[in-house]
């Protein structure tokens, strides 16, 4: 293996460790570089190609360092790699030595490669290299963040006057310093950008342009022909649609199967249901990103023949199948909840997903064939509140995905309990009903796990939700595409008596946000959906108590509310109930304080005992 030969030549245990770290599976690059400055001169050519010339000035280090240059072998060519040593005010070229090149293969990425350059120690070193690319659409973003320490980051973009730059900057407020200006001359325009980039915690996937659950500053870019300078969305749509057209059309085998599945069916909703379920249940999700194949789907017939593909492949086939049966449909570029940007700007960097959009009476019906539990004519969970870019022959259009209301995603717990004062127990049963997508995390487990495995994890899950109490005889029902659960419940140590008073500790009641274990949520937490949770606990007593006025605790903040109530039903029965409404998907700086305030208030309520005065006989 070439890299081991390099290690042996350097005879450094630390270098060996670092290189092994670099090359293990996901290319985990763990060195802590301090870079004085990094600059990229990007020149767009009239033939729609572009060249990036990168210059990096490294701070002095007592240790040898290894710098990776990652590129796409299908789209990019790396050349003119040079090292320089600063001597007074001049740069002296150094012997580059052997540049190690390795293919980087992940489960879903197959055309990436890395060139590893050795950076000498104890000197001010400059690294310069160029990368050419023939696909201008690939110039889709400029990063204003880094997992390295970079004191100064500069971009210069030179664009001939036959083109124009459209852009959008996200998370700009997180930068300590930022400036941008442009100069236009006879033949070109030059954009100069300077910033102090935000340093982020290292994640190997960032090397491949995959930014999950990361809020970082970024400039989304689109270089458009000058005649489209005021219509970047239209240009993006037309470019993608022209590529998409080459991947469409159904052969005899595809049509035969589609006709077989839909024989005798004319209703459009039923046609969508049949074909959607067919793709969801019979096609395997396989994502292999090679060059522009990371963005443009495979041909619909190839997807059908192989019965596999990624989101763009499956959505393209589904769209073609629907069009063939007379149901108008398109595909749409989308950005899921964990992507750093949204498709409200037309750039390839904006999208990490593709869906199918069908139409009935001009109503859009969103379909995600890679989501095995998404239900027709409901919002797609991962796209709630996001924008998709519908691609079609009419210029395309942005479409905002509907967000569920809390009432659409209800969770109802009913507890029927009886006290046993002698044994200090509460015995009884429970009934849990989910609606909407409130059970999606459970539905995924039910669909992907064996029945035995699902049953083995669901009981401990609900025992933890119910205050770590004991559950038995748990049964699951999945009628009308929503889950419900029933079982018996034994609660210990939550009730006892003294001479005049019965004490009841209500901390066995289900917690407000059951998908999160933390008592205080962190910024960026994905709660997954808005929801309304109702809990009613009917408790029969083994000794009569005196009547009391209902006790209510009410909290209301923007987008959320909690009403907790303790009621006297009879001298042998009380009722505990709460109604919690949460109208957010993410915890962020706007709602984190109010969310944690309500969580803490609820904890305080259930940690205090309920005092019930015994009725005098």
The pLDDT tens digits for 303-352 are 999 999 999 999 999 999 999 999 999 999 999 887 878 899 999 888 88
Q: Are residues 374 and 242 in the same domain?
A: yes
Q: Are residues 49 and 191 in the same domain?
A: yes
CA-closest candidate to residue 349, choices 101, 107, 144: 144
Does 491 have pLDDT greater than 90? yes
Cβ atoms of 314 and 297 within 8 Å: the answer is no
Cβ atoms of 17 and 4 within 8 Å: the answer is no
pLDDT given at position 586: 87
Q: Are residues 345 and 424 in the same domain?
A: no
Q: How many Cβ atoms from other residues are within 10 Å of residue 33's Cβ?
A: 19
Q: Are residues 119 and 246 in the same domain?
A: no
Cα 176 to Cα 198: distance, rounded to the nearest angstrom: 8
Cα 499 to Cα 205: distance, rounded to the nearest angstrom: 64
Which DSSP string do the residues of 138-184 spell out, in sequence order?
G--EEE-EESSEEEEEEEEEEEETTEEEEEEEESGGG-S-EEEEEEE
Cα 530 to Cα 153: distance, rounded to the nearest angstrom: 40
Q: What's the whole-number mean pLDDT along residues 214-226?
A: 89
Q: Are residues 214 and 83 in the same domain?
A: yes
Residue 19 lies in a domain: no
**174: which 2 tokens?**
């997180």
Does 226 have pLDDT greater than 50? yes
CA distances from 393 to 175, 199, 245 (A): 39, 42, 10
Q: Are residues 146 and 213 in the same domain?
A: yes
**pTM score:** 0.84
Q: Residue 133 sits in a domain of what CATH number? A: 2.60.40.3140
Phi-psi region of 20 (alpha: psi -120 to 50; beta: other; left: phi over 0): alpha
Residue 23 lies in a domain: no
Cβ atoms of 223 and 235 within 8 Å: the answer is no
Q: Are residues 471 and 389 in the same domain?
A: no
Query: What is the distance, to the nearest Å, from the Cα of residue 388 to the centroid of all Cα atoms in its chain?
Result: 15
* Unique residue bearing structure tokens 């509460």: 426
Q: Are residues 368 and 456 in the same domain?
A: no
At 601, is the secondary structure helix, strand, or coil?
A: helix
Does 572 have pLDDT greater than 60? yes
pLDDT given at position 588: 86
pLDDT in tens, 21-39: 444 333 334 456 789 999 9
pLDDT given at position 399: 94
pLDDT given at position 26: 36
The residue out of 228, 252, 271 marking a domain boundary is: 228
Catalogue the long-range contacts made by 263-268 (C-beta closer than 8 Å, 24 or more residues apart).
Answer: 268/326, 268/327, 268/360
Q: Residue 416 sits in a domain of what CATH number? A: 2.60.120.1130
* Unique residue bearing structure tokens 């998409």: 244
Residue 21 lies in a domain: no
The residue out of 200, 228, 256 marking a domain boundary is: 228
Residue 14 lies in a domain: no
pLDDT given at position 29: 44
What share of the chain in percent tops pLDDT 70?
Answer: 90
pLDDT in tens, 196-217: 999 887 655 555 455 555 678 9
Q: Are residues 299 and 361 in the same domain?
A: yes
Cα 467 to Cα 272: distance, rounded to the nearest angstrom: 43
Residue 608 lies in a domain: yes
Quote the number of domains for the chain. 3
Q: Are residues 484 and 543 in the same domain?
A: yes
Q: What's the whole-number mean pLDDT along residues 490-515?
A: 91
Residue 217 lies in a domain: yes
Residue 24 lies in a domain: no
Domain with 336 in it? 232-400
pLDDT given at position 31: 56
**146: which 2 tokens?**
């880094």
Q: Are residues 158 and 80 in the same domain?
A: yes
pLDDT in tens, 370-400: 998 898 888 899 999 899 999 999 999 999 9
Cβ atoms of 66 and 18 within 8 Å: the answer is yes
Find which of 24-38, 509-523, 551-565 is predicted with most confidence, using mean pLDDT.
551-565
Q: How many Cβ atoms from other residues are within 10 Å of residue 542's Cβ?
A: 13
Residue 428 lies in a domain: yes
Q: Are residues 381 and 426 in the same domain?
A: no
Q: Residue 335 sits in a domain of what CATH number? A: 3.10.620.30
The residue out of 365, 400, 435 marking a domain boundary is: 400
Does 269 have pLDDT greater than 80? yes
Does 16 have pLDDT greater than 60? no
Q: What's the whole-number mean pLDDT along residues 10-21?
A: 39
Does 88 have pLDDT greater than 70? yes
């Amino acid at each position: 293996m070439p890299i081991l030969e390099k290690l042996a030549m350097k005879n450094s245990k630390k270098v060996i460790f670092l290189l092994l770290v670099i090359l293990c599976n996901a290319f985990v690059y763990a060195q802590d570089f301090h870079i004085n400055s990094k600059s990229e001169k990007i020149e767009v050519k009239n033939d729609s190609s572009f060249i990036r010339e990168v210059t990096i000035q490294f701070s002095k280090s007592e240790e040898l360092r290894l710098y990776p240059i990652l590129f796409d072998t299908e789209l990019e060519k790396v050349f003119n790699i040079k090292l320089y040593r600063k001597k007074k005010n001049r740069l002296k070229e150094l012997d580059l030595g052997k540049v190690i090149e390795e293919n980087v293969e992940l489960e879903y990425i197959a055309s990436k490669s890395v060139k590893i350059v050795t950076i000498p120690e104890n000197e001010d070193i400059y690294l310069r290299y160029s990368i050419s690319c023939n696909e201008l659409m690939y110039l889709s973003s400029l990063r204003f963040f880094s997992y390295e320490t970079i004191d100064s980051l500069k971009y210069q973009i030179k664009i001939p006057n036959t083109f124009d730059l459209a852009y959008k900057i996200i998370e700009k407020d997180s930068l300590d310093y930022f400036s941008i200006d442009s100069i236009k001359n006879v033949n070109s325009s030059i954009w100069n950008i300077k910033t102090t980039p935000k340093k982020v915690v290292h994640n190997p996937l960032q090397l491949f342009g995959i930014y999950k659950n990361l809020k970082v500053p970024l400039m989304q870019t689109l270089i458009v022909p000058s005649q489209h300078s005021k219509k970047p969305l239209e240009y993006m749509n037309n470019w993608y649609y022209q590529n998409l057209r080459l991947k469409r059309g159904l052969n005899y085998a595809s049509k035969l199967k589609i006709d077989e599945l839909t024989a005798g069916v004319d209703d459009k909703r039923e046609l969508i249901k049949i074909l959607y379920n067919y793709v969801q249940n019979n096609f395997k999700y396989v994502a292999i990103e090679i060059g522009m194949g990371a963005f443009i789907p495979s041909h619909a017939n190839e997807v059908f023949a192989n019965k596999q593909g990624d989101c763009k492949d499956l959505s393209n086939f589904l769209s073609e199948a629907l069009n063939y049966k007379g149901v108008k449909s398109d595909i749409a570029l989308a950005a899921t909840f964990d992507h750093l940007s949204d498709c409200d700007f037309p750039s390839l960097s904006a999208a990490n997903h593709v869906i199918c959009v069908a139409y009935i009476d001009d109503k859009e019906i969103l379909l995600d064939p890679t989501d095995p539990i998404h239900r027709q004519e409901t919002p797609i969970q991962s796209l709630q509140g996001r924008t998709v870019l519908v691609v079609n022959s009419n210029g395309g259009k942005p479409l905002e995905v509907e967000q569920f209301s809390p009432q659409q995603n209800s969770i109802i717990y009913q507890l029927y309990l009886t006290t046993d004062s002698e044994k200090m127990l509460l015995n009884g049963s429970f009934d849990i009903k989910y609606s909407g997508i409130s059970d999606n995390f459970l539905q995924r487990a039910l669909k992907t796990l064996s029945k035995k495995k699902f049953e083995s994890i669901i009981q401990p899950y609900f025992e933890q939700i119910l205050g770590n109490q004991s559950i038995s005889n748990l049964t699951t029902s999945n009628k009308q595409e929503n889950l419900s659960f029933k079982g018996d419940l034994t609660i210990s140590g939550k009730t006892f008596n003294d001479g005049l008073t019965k004490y009841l500790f209500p901390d066995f009641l289900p917690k407000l946000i059951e998908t999160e274990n933390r008592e205080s949520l962190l910024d960026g937490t994905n709660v997954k959906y808005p929801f309304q949770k109702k809990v009613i606990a009917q408790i029969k007593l083994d000794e009569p108590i005196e009547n009391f006025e209902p006790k209510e605790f009410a909290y209301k903040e923007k987008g959320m509310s909690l009403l907790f109530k303790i009621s006297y039903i009879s001298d042998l029965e009380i009722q505990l109930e709460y109604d919690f409404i949460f109208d957010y998907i993410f915890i962020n700086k706007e709602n984190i304080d109010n969310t944690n305030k309500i969580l803490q208030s609820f904890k305080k309520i259930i940690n205090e005992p309920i005092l019930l005065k015994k009725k005098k006989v």
